[in-house]
Amino acid sequence: MDAKTNYKAKKIKAVFFDIDDTLRIKDTGYMPKSVKTAFAALKKKGILTGIASGRAPYGVVPEIRALEPDFLVTINGAYVFDNKGNSLYSDALPLEVIEKYVAWCQEVGIEYGFAGSEKAAVSKRAPLVDDALGPVYGECDADPEFYKENAVYHMWTFETAGDSLQLSKDLQKDVRLVRWHPNSSDVVKNGISKASGLGHVLDKVGLAPENVLVFGDGPNDMEIFDYAGLAVAMGNGVDELKAKADFVTKRVEEDGILYALEELGLVEKEVHFPQLDLEKTEGPVATIKTNHGDMTLKLFPEQAPKTVANFIALAKDGYYDGVIFHRVIKDFMIQGGDPTGTGMGGESIYGDKFEDEFSEELYNLRGALSMANAGPNTNGSQFFLVQNQAFPYSAKELERGGWPKEIAEAYTKGGTPHLDRRHTVFGHLVNQESFAVLDQIAAVETGSADKPVDDVIIESIVIAD
């Protein structure tokens, strides 16, 4: 996150979201649980929330309504209201423009549709029409003369022409095409957009564009990205929108909304400590089989993906088979993973040293599996297991030093906090039998350079994915 984006984030007092492929996946209806968490966190901080969508009010699905946004900018800005249903702005298309549009569609031979305030209608039911509108509005009535008795706020094309389709010059004076689907464009009144709709909200609440963060993914978000003070594009968004964004977040299904808000500092990061809840933590399990017994560990690919991938690949390839723990220091740690047995060797699967992966969720607690290194970003194949039980600090001292309260408390049972942010933690022992083997190895007699007098051998490392 660059300094300019961070500066913009400090001014944000309202956040507006597109719906389709931003808050939820249009084709499947999937919405991550983290979206609800994000809305609740924003509200708790007194930040206004809103929807800015091409959908009409009846297309705003129940799970989006349940988020209780403060304002809804719908139909691409033509229909704006608050969470109590009070209208802030509405702007229906003139009848003569609709009539010209219908005549043009009939002339070029394409189907068309209308978005009213309470329902949508189409000129004809056909697979091309249903494929586009179905995921948004379900099956719409076929009523080519809907506009004669209902206000229309925008219209649709249904065709296979794509961006090559151009309105007549006469129509271009009043409306424009905004592509939203491979087989459909919104037909929007000139001067009306999500940006203009958002402007009516800001006038109502007394905020400026620089106070607003917007999320989006598609071409109909272009104008609101230009208008708002801060713009975030979804990882699944179109390239031209990403080029306009201040920040590109992860995809919808990767909790992109919450991730961006956390990175921008608008909500507190949700931190989980998998080492404190190993039974509920998903991940591969590694069993280090030694001549002193087995040690079983849960690995953490979510927090340290590259490190875990390296360890697993080396283990499955037999790289560690027959390798010794070459450095053992009681009340500290046991270190191995170097085929030369000297502490000077070992290679990663990446062909060179690779970078550290420090996580706010992982710590060098007693039982932690961490990467040995020779300084920042020098990881190879060597690792160590934290064995220390004689903890010299109090939990309050660690809290004052910046460690989370839960971790500070866990450290009273042992660990090496001075190694945090210096060595990548990527696994943890899962049971007492494993800790007993760890302590037994730590107690062996050692000689020069803390090398055991009698070899402590890794017979194999077995991975259960």
Active site residues: 18
- Checking DSSP bridges between strand 230-233 and strand 247-248, what pairing results, if any? parallel
Query: Nearest 10 degrees: CA dihedral of 209, 212, 213, 216?
Result: -60
- Cβ(283)–Cβ(298) under 8 Å? yes
| Cα–Cα dist 207/201, whole Å | 8
Q: Where are the alpha helices (DSSP H) in 112-152?
A: 127-137
Put residue 326 in one of left, alpha, beta given phi > 0 → left and psi -120 to 50 → alpha.
alpha
CA angle 407, 409, 410 (to 5 degrees): 60
| Cα–Cα dist 286/301, whole Å | 12
CA angle 113, 116, 121 (to 5 degrees): 35
User: Burial code of 165-186, b = ≥16 C-beta within 10 A, e = fewer?
Assistant: eebeeebeebbbbbbbbebbbb
- Cβ(370)–Cβ(424) under 8 Å? yes
- Cβ(429)–Cβ(435) under 8 Å? yes
| Cα–Cα dist 334/442, whole Å | 6
Beta pairing partners, 49: 15
**Distance, C-alpha 156 to centroid of its chain:** 32
DSSP-derived letter for residue 237 is: S
Integer distance in angstroms from the first to the last C-alpha of the chain?
A: 34
Q: Say which residue the tokens 């037999």 belong to.
A: 318
CA angle 246, 247, 250 (to 5 degrees): 160
Beta pairing partners, 186: 156, 178
User: E strands, 225-330, where?
Assistant: 230-233, 247-248, 285-290, 293-299, 323-329
Q: Enumerate residues 6+ apart whose C-beta is below 8 A from 19.
A: 51, 53, 55, 60, 61, 64
Q: Is 18 exposed, middle or buried (0-12, 13-18, 19+ CB in 10 A)?
A: buried
Q: Say which residue the tokens 């509005």 belong to.
A: 137
Q: Say which residue the tokens 């007993």 belong to.
A: 436
Amino acid symbol at 3:
A
Q: Say which residue the tokens 């990446």 belong to.
A: 350
DSSP-derived letter for residue 198 is: H
